[in-house]
């Protein structure tokens, strides 16, 4: 009888134990599935764009699941109160130790959404890497500064025409027998600034502690020539530091920091003049900081300040005299975006194109008037890329996946009212260029699509996808002659045949190091003659590319 009782008691105890732990087991499985869904989809290289909204909705479920496990443990687990509180105490100590060991949390973009990157107190800092490098490379540069912009220079954002196109480049695409050679490589500091190159100068912007710095390196050796630093610090969840690219012109260097500090320096690093364009325009900074690179027009330099949406002051676009810093004019009541002003000739009229927080607009810099506009609203006002100007008055724009892309035709009729018209030639979601600038040869448009940064080629006439390529992350690209040069997020550089019917890769080289958490190669590269300059938030390098 006792044996029968014991045999019955064992299954009952097992069922009771299962019922007791069924809820936490289910919650744990759900949490695990939600957390693993993104990485598994990435590992399988699935097309994740359609799943991103679902994954983003599910992500809070992880937090709710953990909270539910805590409530179960405290009130329904059945353990003694001493055990329950002891476990919670250990958990609190662990969380506290983790929080105290953190120095920063930032986000990076992945094919399935944004993912945190944790930085801890025991990690080597930028300052440590910089000090070690300076100790090992004590030799400075004493030669005369040469900053005259020549045909083999890259004087500002995306090159001489701000379109990322270098038609005269003739890159050797056989890197097996003609390999690129590293000229120099060195540590740098935070920031998403690009690189300007002229003469023997390489200039960029960095966040050095609580100061922004305009930093000049020697083109030949990578040695630090000079730093002009000033109190300014922009910090957000995507990373610290300045975002725009310096402009070198006529013996002067123009820069715009993330907090609005607009400077003119000479090529020796001495300040000529400066103004905070946000204060000057009575504008408010935007979420991710000022990103517009200075634009040269005649004897003026132009900056994009935006407005205070609640009290616009008519100074979204501001022009200053290059020599004196005196304000020449200010126009526009539109919100700031993350694109840069660029010159274009449409319908025979020279104008400044700006892809701002409200959409695309054309300004006449001579009459100081808004000529036309096209609304393009995105989440967080994330209009970031440079418009791609094609023939026949066509302009291509793109942004987040919700908007996709559009080809517009800008026309002008003197005797019509209104004189300017904007028509949509085509619009689709075949290319969502979030902040990787597309390039075009007039027949095709090349870009990095969505969070995954998938290489895509569109037909410029129809907007149809010609081919889809690999995932590069939020990198950047240039069109060098008949070759597409792509800088991947992880520091890899690839060359592709722009005329191929598929993503024909011609060459590949790792050009920035791996293993550093902060090394997100989102900065725009510079191709100056046969030298390619690439950087991220920890490192800058110069490579000599073989030529044909």
Q: Which of 31-40, 44-53, 538-547 has the highest mean pLDDT?
A: 538-547
Question: Which of 506, 538, 492 is CA-nearest to residue 208?
Answer: 538
Summarize pLDDT for 218-271 with one digit per residue, the tens.
Answer: 999 999 999 999 999 998 888 899 999 999 999 999 999 999 999 999 999 999
Q: What is the DSSP string of 436-492?
A: SPPEE-SSEEEEEETTTTEEEEEETTT--EEEEEEE--S-EEEEETTEEEEE-TTSE
Same domain, 81 and 214: no
Same domain, 84 and 139: no
Segment 378-388 shows an average pLDDT of 89
**Cα(370)–Cα(398) distance, integer angstroms:** 22
**Cα(169)–Cα(495) distance, integer angstroms:** 13
Measured CA distances, 211 to 24, 61, 202, 400 (Å): 49, 39, 20, 32
Same domain, 381 and 505: yes
Summarize pLDDT for 349-370 with one digit per residue, the tens.
Answer: 999 999 999 999 999 999 999 9
pLDDT confidence of 428, banded at 50, 70, 90?
very high
At residue 112, the pLDDT reads 61
At residue 123, the pLDDT reads 83
Domain end position, chosen among 120, 135, 155: 120
Same domain, 114 and 215: no
Summarize pLDDT for 438-477 with one digit per residue, the tens.
Answer: 999 999 999 999 888 999 999 999 999 999 999 998 899 9
Same domain, 48 and 159: no
Question: Which of 514, 504, 506 is CA-nearest to residue 538?
Answer: 514
Beta bridge partners of 546: none
Indicate if the pLDDT at residue 18 is higher than 80: no
Share of the chain above pLDDT 70, in %: 92
Domain end position, chosen among 102, 120, 138: 120
Average pLDDT, the chain: 90
Same domain, 109 and 135: no
pLDDT confidence of 51, banded at 50, 70, 90?
low
Task: Name the token pair of 299.
Answer: 């004897």
At residue 519, the pLDDT reads 67
**Cα(356)–Cα(307) distance, integer angstroms:** 11
Region class of 191: left (phi > 0), else alpha (psi between -120 and 50), else beta: left
Domain with 80, as residue range(s), is 2-120
Question: Which of 274, 145, 169, 158 is CA-nearest to residue 217?
Answer: 145
Same domain, 93 and 184: no
Same domain, 105 and 222: no
Structural Rg of the chain based on CA atoms = 27
Summarize pLDDT for 316-328 with one digit per residue, the tens.
Answer: 999 999 999 999 9
pLDDT confidence of 11, banded at 50, 70, 90?
confident
Same domain, 111 and 135: no
At residue 225, the pLDDT reads 94
At residue 9, the pLDDT reads 64
Indicate if the pLDDT at residue 329 is higher than 80: yes
Domain end position, chosen among 120, 143, 177: 120
**Cα(215)–Cα(474) distance, integer angstroms:** 24
pLDDT confidence of 516, banded at 50, 70, 90?
low
Same domain, 271 and 350: yes
Q: What is the CATH number of the domain that holds 345?
A: 2.130.10.10
**Cα(296)–Cα(302) distance, integer angstroms:** 6
Same domain, 90 and 218: no
* Cis before 418 (ω within 30): yes
Indicate if the pLDDT at residue 2 is higher than 70: no
Summarize pLDDT for 90-120 with one digit per residue, the tens.
Answer: 988 988 998 889 888 777 766 666 677 788 8
Query: Looking at the 3D structure of the chain, how many domains does it have?
Result: 2
Q: Please count the other Cβ atoms lying within 10 Å of the Cβ belonging to residue 461.
A: 13
Same domain, 304 and 156: yes
Indicate if the pLDDT at residue 424 is higher than 90: yes
């Amino acid at each position: 009888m006792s044996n029968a009782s014991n045999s019955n008691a064992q299954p009952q105890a097992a069922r009771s134990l299962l019922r007791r732990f069924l809820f936490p087991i289910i919650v744990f499985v759900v949490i695990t599935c939600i957390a693993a869904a993104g990485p598994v989809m990435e590992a399988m290289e699935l097309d994740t764009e359609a799943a991103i909204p679902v994954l983003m909705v599910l992500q809070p479920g992880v937090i709710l699941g953990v909270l539910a496990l805590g409530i179960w443990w405290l009130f329904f687990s059945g353990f003694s109160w001493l055990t329950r509180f002891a476990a919670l105490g250990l958990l609190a100590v662990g969380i506290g130790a983790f929080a105290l060991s953190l120095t920063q949390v930032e986000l990076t973009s992945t094919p399935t959404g944004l993912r945190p990157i944790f930085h801890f107190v025991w990690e080597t800092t930028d300052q440590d890497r910089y000090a070690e490098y300076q100790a090992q490379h004590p030799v400075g540069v004493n030669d005369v500064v040469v900053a005259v912009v020549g045909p083999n220079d890259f004087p500002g954002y995306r090159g001489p025409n701000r379109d990322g196109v270098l038609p005269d480049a003739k890159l050797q695409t056989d890197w097996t027998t003609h390999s690129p050679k590293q000229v120099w490589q060195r540590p740098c500091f935070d920031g998403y600034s690009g690189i300007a190159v002229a003469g023997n100068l390489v200039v960029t912007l960095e966040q050095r502690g609580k100061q922004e710095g305009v930093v000049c390196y020697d083109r030949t050796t990578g040695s630090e020539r000079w730093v002009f630093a000033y109190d300014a610090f922009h910090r957000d969840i995507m990373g610290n530091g300045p975002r725009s690219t310096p402009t070198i012109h006529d013996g002067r260097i123009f820069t715009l920091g993330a907090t609005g500090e607009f400077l003119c320096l000479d090529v020796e690093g001495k300040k000529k003049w400066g103004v905070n364009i946000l204060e000057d325009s009575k504008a408010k900074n935007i979420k991710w900081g000022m990103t517009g690179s200075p634009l040269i027009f005649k004897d003026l330099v132009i900056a994009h300040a935006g407005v205070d949406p609640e009290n616009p002051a008519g100074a979204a676009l501001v022009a200053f005299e290059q020599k004196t810093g005196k304000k020449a004019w200010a126009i526009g009541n539109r919100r700031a975006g993350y694109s840069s002003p660029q010159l274009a000739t449409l319908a025979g009229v020279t104008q400044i194109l700006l892809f701002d927080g409200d959409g695309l607009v054309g300004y006449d810099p001579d009459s100081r008037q808004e000529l036309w506009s096209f609304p393009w609203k995105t989440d967080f006002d994330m209009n970031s890329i440079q418009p791609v100007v094609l023939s026949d008055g066509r302009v291509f724009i793109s942004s987040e996946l919700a908007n996709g892309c559009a080809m517009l035709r800008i026309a002008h009729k003197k005797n019509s009212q209104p004189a300017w018209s904007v028509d949509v030639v085509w619009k689709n979601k075949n290319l969502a260029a979030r902040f990787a600038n597309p390039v075009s040869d007039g027949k095709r448009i090349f870009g990095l699509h969505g969070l995954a940064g998938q290489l895509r080629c569109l037909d410029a006439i129809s907007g149809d996808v010609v081919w889809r390529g690999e995932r590069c992350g939020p990198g950047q690209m240039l069109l060098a002659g008949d070759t597409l040069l792509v800088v991947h997020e992880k520091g890899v550089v690839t060359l592709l045949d722009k005329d191929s019917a598929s993503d024909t890769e011609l060459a590949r080289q790792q050009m920035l190091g791996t293993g550093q958490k902060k090394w997100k190669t989102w900065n725009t590269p510079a191709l100056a003659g046969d030298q390619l300059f690439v950087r991220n938030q920890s490192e800058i390098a110069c490579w000599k590319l073989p030529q044909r």
